[in-house]
Amino acid sequence: MSAYFEAINLGKTYKTPSGDAVIVDGFELTMKKGEFVCVLGHSGCGKSTVLSMVAGLNEISTGSVILDGTEIEAASPDRGVVFQSPCLLPWMTTWDNVMLGVNQVYYHASKQERNQIVEYYLTVVGLADAMKKRPGELSAGMRQRVGLARAFALSPKMLLLDEPFGMLDKLTKFELQQVLLDLWNRERLTAMMITHDVDEAIYLADRVVMMTNGPAARVGEIVEIDFERPRDRRELMLDPRYIEYRKQLISFLEERVYLLDSPSNKTLAA
């Protein structure tokens, strides 16, 4: 199958008073349609930089990103973005916050069709009873449910998630991972998600892409997560492969810490 998403020699350099700061350099990744990739890497290595370039929210310095045969240029609703805290308009209801994007993307659809879309996604994420509430009346977990509903409701070509559950407590995080997987199982959107959580990456991803430490970060190693879908968290954890995957991911990250800590080896870390 040909690539649906391609990051080709992607790089980001910032001009700083002390010269050029090469944050990402030569980031290469190919994804199939409907694939779920998690990106793992140490804090500050450049994960969000890559994701924001793919989203069209941050200018690309070198290389290019191709999605469904077209080079991306600017932000567009064909890429749904979910951040750690969703930017919801506080004076609008949950319903209206989701409708905002739906109106934009489905302007040709009837009012009834648009209503159905909003109702469907808010129900699937478990907010059937909170449609008329405003963001201030919702918990952080509920707000992120709105964030997911909003992103999926636009039927984007690609879903980009930057640590969407990073601020949530463990139980809420588990619930939201389930919501995300349920949605994803229905629609099989091509998804790239940044996380710091090794277990989250194994649970969600088809492949885990590990980035090297910056500066000039790029793809270091890729681990295929070969669990069938739909996945059951408990079954997964009892599978001997789970421990193996965990070991691989953690040893990659630990190795990088070691290299970072050791000044003489700093260049090796990149």
In the complex, which residues of this chain contact Mg ion (CB under 5 A)?
48
Among the listed residues 48, 61, 97, 144, the single contact to ligand ATP using CB under 6 A: 48
Instruction: Check residue 21 for interaction with ligand ATP (CB under 6 A).
Output: yes
Residue closer to Mg ion (CB basis): 48 or 177: 48
Instruction: Check residue 23 for interaction with ligand ATP (CB under 6 A).
Output: yes
Tokens of 151: 């992103």
Cα→Cα distances 202→36, 129, 254, Å: 11, 32, 17
Among the listed residues 29, 35, 40, 49, the single contact to ligand ATP using CB under 6 A: 49
Instruction: Check residue 46 for interaction with ligand ATP (CB under 6 A).
Output: yes
Residue closer to Mg ion (CB basis): 42 or 157: 42
Q: Which does 139 bind (CB under 5 to 8 A by kind): Mg ion, ligand ATP, none?
A: none
| C-alpha gyration radius of the chain | 19
Residues in the chain: 270
Cα→Cα distances 212→111, 166, 200, 222, 259, Å: 48, 21, 19, 11, 11
**Shortest Cβ 196–Mg ion spacing (Å):** 9
The helix/strand/coil state of 207 is strand
Dihedral of the CA atoms 57, 63, 67, 71 (nearest 10)? Answer: 90
Farthest CA pair distance, the chain: 64
Q: Which does 16 bind (CB under 5 to 8 A by kind): ligand ATP, Mg ion, none?
A: ligand ATP
Query: Is 222 within 8 Å of 209 (Cβ atoms)?
Result: yes
Residue closer to ligand ATP (CB basis): 57 or 100: 57
Residue closer to Mg ion (CB basis): 48 or 97: 48
Q: Which does 94 bind (CB under 5 to 8 A by kind): Mg ion, ligand ATP, none?
A: none
* DSSP classification of residue 217: B
* Rounded-to-integer distance, Cα 218 and Cα 57, Å: 19
Among the listed residues 16, 112, 264, 267, the single contact to ligand ATP using CB under 6 A: 16
**Shortest Cβ 53–ligand ATP spacing (Å):** 10
Contact residues toward ligand ATP (CB under 6 A) are 14, 16, 21, 23, 41, 43-49, 214
